[in-house]
Amino acid sequence: MQGLHIIADLYHCPQGDYLHSANALRALCLGACAAAGLSVLGEHFYQFDSFDHIQPGGATGAVVLAESHLAIHTWPERDGATLDIYVCNVTGDNSTRAEHLYASLIAALKPADVLAKRVWRGKDLPIKAAA
């Protein structure tokens, strides 16, 4: 149950497919998860319509991992995105994989400003033996 939870708000991202294309965002996230050595169990991405009929709409997505999850939401009308990455494991420390995933997404989205928080979750409890 122990793991690293990274929550980040990304500001001043350059406009591009990742901010306003659910398909591009999906490919980015699945590729970044694979590159970090994480096991994708499922995913869902959604494309929003433009809220003002001028700018493209944002995208949102979630990737369910054997090690927990990645959630991402883009706001092209504000040049930003939000990330929620939680990577845990019952038998070992996967924080390096969480940081790798985070770094890959930051490199692709290229924010000029980031507000991030890292929370170490869980207690180091012994694994119960089967009854």
Residues identified as active-site: 68, 73, 88
Rounded Cα–Cα distance for residues 62 and 46 (Å): 9
Under 8 Å between Cβ of 3 and 86? yes
Rounded Cα–Cα distance for residues 61 and 130 (Å): 37
Beta bridge mates, 59: 47
Q: Give 92's DSSP letter.
A: S
